[in-house]
């Protein structure tokens, strides 16, 4: 039997109580793969303002070159209101006593440095917060931001940087319009480690053009970088995305749940001792396909049961 080291267990061991991540979405944040700096439209599976009626058209966004951020007060208010709305639920449902503020939506280092500093520092002032987890892209973080985060860690805060890797195959990255290569991932994961920060890597199984060989290679290549924590999920087809168009034209078939299970099982077996797992699936709104991903509880139940039958306890 292999027992997967869950990120929740890592936090519990470290802080002695249940610690939960508090997901935050900052208004006005965007992504260089959407706003034109790298590309427009984003990754082919990303639901964003280029395609989706759910997103406000012409919303004001900021980027690292924004001289004076007109949204800062609104961003700080949103941070605060989301924190105070979510934490009572995490306390009640999971018994959480401490929190890691997770800057989740879009690219959370793609803003003026002064804005990032203010938001990160404000998050650390909230009650029972032990640190931050910052979701971003490897082509959108700077030495200055890494240095600032490393200083917070030196002061005793729990600080994580989460990078979307998705695949280590450059052909796949091009096919999904990722806007950067795996070499870029290697470079910035190394820089992040050199400065003393741990990394959580996100991988997607079932990307167009990939078979099991490529998916497992992505796990191997990411493990080789010494990444400390992983999130895995199957590729979802969300309405109003380029991927949805390809799916509707019959050009893309998502993994079925047995195919996903098979690659997940092999991927989990490759993780070294002490590397934690934060997620083996995820939920999404506006799901078009695959149908087996519609209900997150059912997905989890299936995966956990089947993994156990195969000798993996999650």
Q: Which of 137, 202, 231, 257 binds ligand SF4 (CB under 6 A)?
A: 137
Q: Which of 26, 34, 141, 255 binds ligand SF4 (CB under 6 A)?
A: 34
State in angstroms the smallest separation of the CB of 140 from ligand SF4.
8
State in angstroms the smallest separation of the CB of 126 from ligand SF4.
25
* Backbone torsions φ then ψ of 76, nearest 5 degrees: -65, -40
What stretches of 195-295 show up as alpha helix (H) in DSSP? Answer: 212-224, 242-248, 257-269
The yes or no reply on residue 106 touching ligand SF4 (CB under 6 A) is: yes
Selected range binding ligand SF4 among 12-20, 28-36, 226-234, 282-290, rule: CB under 6 A: 28-36
- The DSSP bridge pattern shows strands 276-279 and 229-234 to be parallel
Q: Of residues 147-176, which lie at the interface with ligand SF4 (CB under 6 A)?
A: 164
Of the pair 44, 96, the CB lying nearest ligand SF4 is at 44
Of the pair 100, 204, the CB lying nearest ligand SF4 is at 204
Selected range binding ligand SF4 among 15-23, 31-39, 61-69, 249-257, rule: CB under 6 A: 31-39
Decide: 221 and 168 in contact? Cβ < 8 Å.
yes
Q: Of residues 230-249, which lie at the interface with ligand SF4 (CB under 6 A)?
A: none
Q: How far is CA 105 from the centre of its chain?
A: 8
Measured from the Cβ of residue 244, the count of other Cβ atoms closer than 10 Å reads 20
Q: Residues 173, 176, 182, CA angle at the centre, nearest 5°? A: 15
User: What whole-number distance in Å separates Cα of residue 18 and Cα of residue 8?
Assistant: 7
Contacts with ligand SF4 by CB under 6 A: the residue count is 11
Q: Which of 43, 159, 203, 227 binds ligand SF4 (CB under 6 A)?
A: 43
Selected range binding ligand SF4 among 40-48, 195-203, 207-215, 242-250, rule: CB under 6 A: 40-48
Buried b (16+ CB within 10 A) or exposed e, 53-82: eeeeeeeebbbbebeebebbeebbebbeeb
Q: How far is CA 88 from the centre of its chain?
A: 23
Q: Residues 112, 133, 117, CA angle at the centre, nearest 5°? A: 30
Q: Which of 4, 19, 24, 46 binds ligand SF4 (CB under 6 A)?
A: 46
State in angstroms the smallest separation of the CB of 221 from ligand SF4.
19
Residue 136: in which H helix or E strand, if any? strand 129-136
Of the pair 178, 257, the CB lying nearest ligand SF4 is at 178
State the residues that interact with ligand SF4 by CB under 6 A: 31, 33-34, 42-43, 46, 48, 106-107, 137, 164
């Amino acid at each position: 039997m292999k027992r997967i080291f869950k990120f929740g267990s890592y936090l519990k061991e470290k802080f002695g109580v249940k610690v939960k991540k508090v997901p935050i979405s900052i208004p006005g944040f965007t992504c260089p793969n959407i706003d034109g700096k790298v590309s427009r439209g984003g990754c082919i599976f990303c639901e964003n303002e280029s395609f989706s009626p759910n997103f406000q058209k012409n919303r004001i966004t900021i980027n690292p070159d924004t001289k004076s951020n007109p949204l800062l007060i609104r961003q700080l208010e949103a941070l605060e209101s989301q924190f105070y709305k979510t934490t009572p639920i995490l306390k009640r449902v999971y018994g959480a006593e401490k929190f890691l503020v997770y800057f989740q939506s879009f690219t959370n280092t793609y803003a003026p440095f002064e804005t990032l500093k203010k938001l990160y520092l404000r998050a650390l002032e909230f009650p029972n917060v032990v640190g931050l987890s910052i979701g971003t892209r490897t082509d959108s973080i700077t030495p200055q931001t890494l240095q600032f985060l490393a200083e917070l860690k030196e002061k005793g805060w729990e600080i994580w940087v989460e990078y979307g890797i998705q695949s280590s195959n450059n052909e796949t990255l091009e096919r999904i319009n990722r806007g950067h290569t795996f070499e870029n991932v290697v470079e910035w994961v190394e820089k992040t480690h050199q400065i003393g920060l741990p990394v959580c890597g996100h991988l997607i199984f079932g990307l167009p053009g990939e078979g099991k060989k490529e998916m497992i290679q992505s796990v191997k290549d990411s493990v080789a970088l010494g990444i400390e924590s992983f999130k895995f999920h199957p590729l979802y087809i969300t309405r109003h995305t380029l991927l949805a168009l390809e799916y509707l034209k019959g050009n893309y078939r998502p993994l079925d749940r047995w195919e996903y299970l098979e690659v997940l099982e092999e991927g989990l077996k490759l993780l070294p001792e002490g590397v934690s797992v934060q997620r083996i699936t995820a939920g999404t709104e506006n799901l078009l396909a695959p149908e087996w991903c519609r209900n997150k509880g059912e997905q989890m139940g299936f995966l956990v049961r089947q993994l156990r039958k195969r000798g993996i306890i999650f």
